[in-house]
Structure 1
């Protein structure tokens, strides 16, 4: 099952999409306005989110597909977004190439403790079709397509698509500049939906792809598979939640294997399309912040 946040902020609604159709769950129960509300209800009832949603769908009106396509917003209002790095071999290579201290990334790639870092708060990330940002003081900027894990009270309840925007020039100058390279206005996007964890057979067996276009011309188009991860989803989640006061609803991005070459940097107006099999496609344009 897929869950979408639709409508404007004054009329937020949670939509469920299944093979049978799309349904307005908020119309069935006004207290369920978001995926967070649904996850909370499932936690209280000690049931899966899909079971609660299926019950609501019995009395929910159907939604036209155009309603979801035209009004989709960030699918969750996550209190925090975190991210993991150096989880794929190509990511480790890219970080070495950009860095003045490449041995640090080899140590993380081969080490027992993964790199997990804070990424964004709700006022720093955007949803589908909203502009993601590149810093005006950065010279080398890239998107990073990633599988996002949606957590409720630290437990995995779903998956989404994420874009972990990165200033490679700032981080490459010195690894201690990582927060500035990663955390800024519009530094992240998530969407277009949440795919329930129960409906994903194996998060390590999903095709992932990214296309970057400028003025209608395709500049980058590559794909990979989440099976190329050298860390498991459960391992990354455990590292994030252990010894950490995690919020009620959060998203953990799990790293990237799709990195444009050294000669590429994003420009204002570029279009980024990121897709993950069985979840969906996240589209954003680029703006300078």
Structure 2
């Protein structure tokens, strides 16, 4: 059975759970037990993250017992066939869901190859063999926006290898885009969706930061930035089609709040491991280290929220991925792509394991509970 990997954790973890007779509630994890900490003072995750010290609040607030962690894990897996049952939600609610792209040199190379191949995996394999080593070796230690990065840019232009992906990878400005609509992300144990027309796609295991309206990073969790490589490879203008589909963003299992035991230093040193297990017995494993990120996470946050762009309800920020699978799954030269029924497990140091199951977006439960439904629900419960 899949687990969140948090049973023995001693960090400060918060999240959200769907309770049929109530709707979404805020929960805290304490010694393997889940407690409802929803209140009129703090009715939403947005409100919790706006506090000066969310971890201290969670440590001291009382709460009503909901379930053991193990029991809710089982219920969440059973809710795949009936989403009206009690289950984990994505831990964020009113926050915008943003994502940074091309933040690791190795994945940057893959984006260049995708663009040159125009969404054709066989063409990508040929280009990878021709230029992959050259670009990867050239960019491994480049600081984006530095004088050295400008010299590399000039050299790549001379070689005919410059790309818009290299521009955001080593140029002065980061790529930050909207990954999903408010409240549309799915949580632990839920199905994640692929556009039915996609034939080349992959998971993207990432750290996700929880940031409040003041730009303060209050905690971190795990995300799967499901990506359609064929759509984005055909044209960068198809980014929204490649990234934002029904159930194409997963976040969870819970947010680990910053406290005396967990900080941005831990995020910068975190390692991620991913396993994709197919219904046919196929297994793909991947690993990445945040130490290899080209842009510091705090710098990406500063490029997202500043005097030019505000987020009154805060935002969740996917930090990008080092993982771009090139191993052949079926046909030689065509690389990896998902199959319906794949189980994706992403583990990050100190943050547990995010587990989801792959389906077509059209086969995932439709997203119906948006901000207006959420506000009506809170009002009916006299929480606002």
TM-score, scaled relative to structure 2: 0.68
Give a deviation string over 1:75-112, Cα, whole Å, max 9, x none: 11143211001111221011011113862222222111
Shift of 1:255: 0.2
Out of 351, 354, 360, which is 1:288 matched to? 360
When residues 102 and 119 of structure 1 are mapped into structure 2, their CA distance, relative to the original with a 3 A threshold, is farther
Q: How does 1:1-20 map to 2 (within 5 A)?
A: 1-8=12-19, 10-18=22-30, 20=31
Task: Identify the range of structure 1 (91-100 vs 8-17) with the bigger mean alpha-carbon deviation.
Answer: 8-17
The 5-angstrom pairing of residues 104-143 of structure 1 reads 104-122=164-182, 124-143=184-203
Q: Quick one: which of 62, 66, 89 aligns to 2:70?
A: 66
State the distance in 2 between where 1:62 and 1:166 align: 35
How far residue 141 of structure 1 moved from its aligned partner, in angstroms, is: 1.0
- Residue 232 (structure 1) aligns with: 296
Task: Could you tell me which runs of 5 or more consecutive residues in structure 1 were left unpaired when the two chains were aligned.
Answer: none
For 2:53 and 2:302, locate their aligned partners in 1 and report how far apart those are by CA, in whole Å: 21
Higher strand share: 1
Equivalent residues of 2:29, 2:35 under 8 A apart = no
Aligned-partner Cα distance in 2 for 1:32–1:68: 23
Whether 1:250 aligns to 2:250 is: no
Distance change in 2, residues 1:179/1:65 (3 Å): closer
Deviation of 1:197 after TM superposition, in Å, equals: 2.4
SS at match of 1:184: coil
**Equivalent pairs, count:** 281
Q: Distance in 2 between matches of 1:288 and 1:115?
A: 27
Aligned equivalents of 2:207, 2:273: Cα separation in 1 = 11
Q: Residues 123 and 102 (structure 1 numbering): CA distance in 2 closer, same or farther, change over 3 Å?
A: farther
Distance in structure 2 (CA, Å) of the matches to 1:286 and 1:4:
22
Check if 1:55 corresponds to 2:60. Answer: yes
Per-residue deviation at 1:13? Answer: 2.9
Distance 1:78-1:211 versus aligned 2 partners, 3 A rule: farther
Query: CA offsets, 1:216-267, max 9 Å, x none?
Result: 6243111121111111111110111121132413201000011211511112
2:99–2:178 contact (8 Å) kept in structure 1:
yes
Output the aligned Cα RMSD. Answer: 2.2
The gaps in structure 2 that reach 5 residues or longer are 1-11, 76-86, 117-160, 327-333, 362-384
Shift in Å, 1:288: 1.1
| 200, 217, 221: which one aligns with 1:160 | 221
CA contact (8 A) 1:25 1:32 kept: no
Structure 1 partner of 2:349: 277
Residue number among 251, 263, 271 corresponding to 2:335 in the alignment: 263
Are 2:262 and 1:200 equivalent residues in the alignment?
yes
Asked whether the 8 Å contact 1:210–1:258 carries over to 2, the reply is no
Q: Which residue of 1 aligns with 2:49?
A: 39
Distance in structure 2 (CA, Å) of the matches to 1:185 and 1:102? 33
In structure 2, how many angstroms separate the alpha carbons of the residues matched to 1:25 and 1:99? 47
